[in-house]
Amino acid sequence: MTLISTCRRLAACFGFLVLASVALPVHAQEQAIRKAIAEKFPNAKIESLSKTPFPGLLELVVDGTLFYTDEKFTYVLDGSVIDTKSWTNVSQQRREDLEAKQQGPIAFKELPLDQAVKIVKGNGRRVIATFEDPNCGYCKQFHSQLTKLNDVTIYTFLYPIISPPDSVEKSRAVWCSKDRARAWDEVMTSGKIAPAAANCKAPIDEVLKLGQKYNVKSTPTIFLSDGQRLRGALPVEQLDQAITAASKARK
């Protein structure tokens, strides 16, 4: 039986797995955890062990799977950590980041940018692509951050996965507008937009298939020009630095 299956089976029954109860310094603590796992599960690969922003909680990644343990290494937890300030599922975001790391960067030049809403700010030399849902609260936060960026071209793929059919209809309305960039800004700021004409076609199905191809499971998902993936409503400073670094990497 593997470590992952054992942890999940016991976690489902008891909510935890009792392992040890001795508090140790950070380095010795990590060595003890690695040793304990190696003894019980010699084939398990410990990819990382690190502190989290939450007091007393350590993150443990084994064979690509996320677990948590306490500072005394008393329990191993298999589940989700929720940040009650923003009600963000921190664990889900982390799992998606680990998954994206395993997948590696995409070929940005292969994205069908003609199926995305194009927004140019300043000279537009730097480029990113995003997957966003018109009913996504984090996308609205992200949109407000994007307004602070300069000299960037943003290709937004309308990715209605949160609350169809409303998300689908709003996405169609944006795509069918005479000024798509303005329409997208309108729906992101007000949440409202006039419906599209019944005979107007939008590449909704194509974008949904594209998102599945690149394993886009949440919005906003951002692809930098070097193919790296980011998620969530990142602070503008962090996003700007990442965009610049990706642009330099392409040269």
Does residue 196 contact residue 106 with C-beta atoms inside 8 Å?
no
Which pTM value belongs to this model? 0.68
**What is d(CA 37, CA 32) in angstroms, rounded to the nearest whole number?**
9
Question: pLDDT, tens digit, for every residue of 50-91?
Answer: 888 888 888 988 877 888 987 766 788 888 888 888 888 888
pLDDT band at residue 40 under the 50/70/90 scheme: confident
CATH superfamily of 108-250: Glutaredoxin (3.40.30.10)
| Cis amide leading into 220 (omega within 30) | yes
Query: How high does pLDDT run on average in the chain?
Result: 85
My answer on whether omega of the bond before 165 falls inside 30° of 0, hence cis, is: yes
Q: If you average pLDDT over residues 180-194, what whole number do you get?
A: 95
Half-sphere exposure of 187 (CA within 13 A, CB side): 26
Does residue 9 surpass a pLDDT of 60? no
Coil vs helix vs strand at 64? coil
Domain boundaries, the chain: 3-103, 108-250
What is the β-pairing status of strands 152-158 and 46-51? unpaired
Give the model's pLDDT for residue 23: 42
Asked whether the predicted pLDDT for residue 249 surpasses 50, the reply is: yes
**What does the pLDDT look like over 192-233, one tens digit per residue?**
999 999 999 999 999 999 999 998 988 999 999 999 998 888
> Contact 130/224 with Cβ under 8 angstroms?
no
DSSP string, 21-59: -----HHHHHHHHHHHHHHH-TT--EEEEEE-SSTTEEE
| 76 backbone dihedrals φ, ψ, rounded to 5° | -115, 125
| 20 HSE (CA, 13 A, CB side) | 16
pLDDT in tens, 119-157: 999 999 999 999 999 999 999 999 999 999 999 999 999
